[in-house]
Structure formats: structure tokens, C-alpha cells
Structure 1
Amino acid sequence: MNICIDIDGTITDPYYWIESANKYFNKNITADEVTQYELHKIIGITRDEYTDFYNKIKFELHSEETIRKDALEVIQKLAELNNIYFVTAREKCLEIVTHKYLNKYEIPYDGVYVLGSAHKVGTAKNLNCDIFIEDSYENAIELSKSNFKVLLVDTNYNRLPLNQNITRVLNWNEIYNTIEKMLLQEKAM
């Protein structure tokens, strides 16, 4: 199978940015308050203010993100029999940082696509993606409407109604079990 995986919030802690934002903006935001994807609205600032903050720390921030529990082990198991492609909306200037991050954790992959855009359908089509693992609700909806099977990693900011092509998963072990079930179902057909 060809498995496409988002990075930020999917293999990494989805709330990795809170500590830096709290220090920078003198706030006290908690993970429970992150109920939407537009971070500037949560912090109570303009989009431009958030963009300025992000541009100042993005290289450091994406180098030091913590990896989600069990993500490495599950991806290693999946990579034994499947193709693993990381497809991220990160800006193109973060391509080297992205490769360094994945290599630092010895995360196996067959390709890394740093798109500079949240629109991932074209890349998923080019990769003949069978399953896309994502944390962004909007991306999951867009991918699912193009008939991709999506595993949506549960976060406080993506708890909205799902369609038939999206399965909510709570952690990486559940991702593994869900993919195993999908493979068994395909073999039975």
C-alpha cells in the first residue's frame, strides 16, 4: 500500500507551539483551548501577528517538535510492507529541516513532499495514495471528497462531523490496527 502521512500534529505533538506562543505573546493558552486550526484566533491576535511570530521561530520550532507516542514504532512496522510518503503543507524553505527531523528520529520513508500548500489531493493522486493519515479537518475533508481513505488523528481542533471516507483514530496503535483491518478486508475481496 501507499501510505501518505502528514507531519505536524500527526506524527508530532499537535500542541507543540503553545509554549513558544505563550512566552512570545505573554499568554497562558492550554491544549484544551485549541479547538480550531486557526491559531491566531485562539491566541487572540491578528493573522499577521501570528505570521510574524511563526516566521521568527519556524526553523527552531520544527527542529524541536516532540514525536507522538508510538508514532516511530508504528511507522517502522508499516514501512516493512508499505510505501511511506510524508506529505506536508510546510513551506518549501523548511524542506531541509523536515528531512533532518525525520532522519534524527530514524523515521523510515520512501519520499518527502514539502508542498508549501495545504492542498494535498494532487500529490496524493500522483503517489497513488491508499490511505492518508492527517490531523487537519479541512485537509481530511478535501482528500475524502476525492475518494481517498483518511485516518484523522484526533485532536481538540478537528472534532467535527466526518464522512464515510474518514475514520477518526485516537493514537498510533489504533492507526496500525485500522490499517491492518483495511488490508485484511482488501485481501478478502
Structure 2
Amino acid sequence: MKNLNICIDIDGTITDAYYWIHLANKYFNKNIKEEDVISYEMHEVFNVEKEKYMEFYNANIKEIHEAATLKEGVKPILDKLIKTNNLYFVTARDKRVENITINFFKENNIPHNNLFLLGKHYKVDKAIALSCDIFIEDNYSNAIQLSTAGFNVILIDTYYNRKKLNDKITRVKTWDEIYNIIVNKQFEKVS
């Protein structure tokens, strides 16, 4: 029997958080740097209407997600975690990028038990269905929703999520830190 059911987001969590910036800079004729991305709402970062940002995203969705790069140090940690835990990837990505996502997992040999493309940011219901013990996330709003629902959350530090945390959320900078937290703590299942 596996020890924990670990739910993991994809973008900004196992991938570099800012891999898409060069595409948006080119499209909007901007020079946004990583440290300028202080909001998860990208239309705010690029100072454009939300509809304009969504036009960019929808027109370039495949190119954006094909540009994803694996975050440094993530693969060896996932390889260790899968030996004694269930790894469920739960992402807001939608079905339009399902094949790109599956290919990314294959090309990078990402170990996992299952992959869920929700097409929305709300993840609490899926975490409940998976009996999640801990959720690894980069989106501050998701972290708050999940932790308020009783889930332990590890929040990977980014410029856009540096806000006040509650006692169910632990902020980390590296996957080594994530591994140490998981192997050194016991997490209770949410009932």
C-alpha cells in the first residue's frame, strides 16, 4: 500500500513558472521580466484587457504549452516519491492540450498514477475524490481554497503568490524542500 496520495499541479509547479513570457512579450510588444509577474492574472501583468489576453492565450495555446520546460530538480524527486506514494497530477489545463500534456509527460518520463485536466482552477472536488493527503501548487487562490477545505498544501514560491499563508500551507523554493517535508511529516487524510 502506498503511503500518501499526493496531488500535483503542472504549470509553475513541475514546469518553470515563467516559460511562456517570451511568447506574450512578443505578442503584446512588451518586455515583461519574471520579477514583473506579481499577479496570477496575466492580463494585469501585461496591462491589457482580460479579453485581449484570452485572445492571445486561445490563439497560441498549443505553442504556449509546447514551450513548457521542466523545473530544475523535479524529476529525481518524483522518481523517489512514486516508489512509496501515489502521484496524481491535477491541472487547470483543458482538453485542448491533452495530447501536448501527455507527450510532455512521456518525453520527460514523468512518473505518475494518473493525470487529470480539469479545464478550471477549482480543484477541491478532485482532491476529495482522490483522498488527497497533500497538494503541491503554485496558484495562491487554489492553495487557499484547498487549505480552507482541510488539505495540506505545499506552495512553490513564485513572484505571483507571495501573500499571507494559513497554517495548512507551507511555502518552498525547491523540490528538495518538498521531498524533505513529505518524508518528514505525516499527513492526515481529509474525511
- For Structure 1 versus Structure 2, the TM-score category normalised by the shorter chain is over 0.9
Are residues 1:54 and 2:27 paired? Answer: no
Note if 1:150 corresponds to 2:126: no
Partners of 2:14 and 2:44 lie apart in 1 by: 24
Give 1:181 shift. Answer: 1.1
Indicate the SS of the match to 1:123. Answer: helix
101, 105, 123: which is aligned to 1:102?
A: 105
Q: Partners of 1:61 and 1:175 in 2: how far apart?
A: 27
AA aligned to 2:134 is I
Picking from 12, 15, 20, the partner of 1:17 is 20
| In 2, Cα distance between equivalents of 1:130 and 1:82 | 10
Q: Which runs of 4+ in 1 moved over 3 A?
A: none
Opposite residue 74 of structure 1, the aligned amino acid is I
Give SS of 1:48's match.
helix
| 1:42 maps to which of 18, 26, 45 | 45
What is the TM-score normalised by the length of structure 2?
0.94
Q: Let me know the Cα RMSD of the aligned residues.
A: 1.1
* Aligned residues with identical type, % of pairs: 49
TM-score, normalised with respect to structure 1: 0.95
Aligned equivalents of 2:63 and 2:45: distance in 1?
22
Query: 2:173: which partner in 1?
Result: 170
CA distance in structure 1 between the aligned counterparts of 2:47 and 2:162, rounded to whole angstroms? 21
**What is the Cα deviation at residue 63 of structure 1?**
1.8
Task: Find the aligned partners of 1:30 and 1:125 in 2 and give their Cα distance.
Answer: 36
Q: Per-residue deviation at 1:99?
A: 1.1
The one-letter code matched in structure 1 to 2:177 is E
Contact 2:20 / 2:67 at 8 angstroms: preserved in 1? no
Name the residue aligned to 1:80. Answer: 83
Given residue 124 of structure 1, which amino acid in structure 2 is its aligned partner? A
Identify the residue that residue 90 of structure 1 maps to in structure 2.
93
In structure 1, the gaps of 5 or more residues are none
**Aligned match for 1:32, one of 35, 40, 51:** 35
- Count of aligned pairs between the two proteins: 185
In 1, Cα distance between equivalents of 2:17 and 2:25 = 15
Per-residue deviation, 1:64 = 2.3
Gaps of 5+ in 2: none
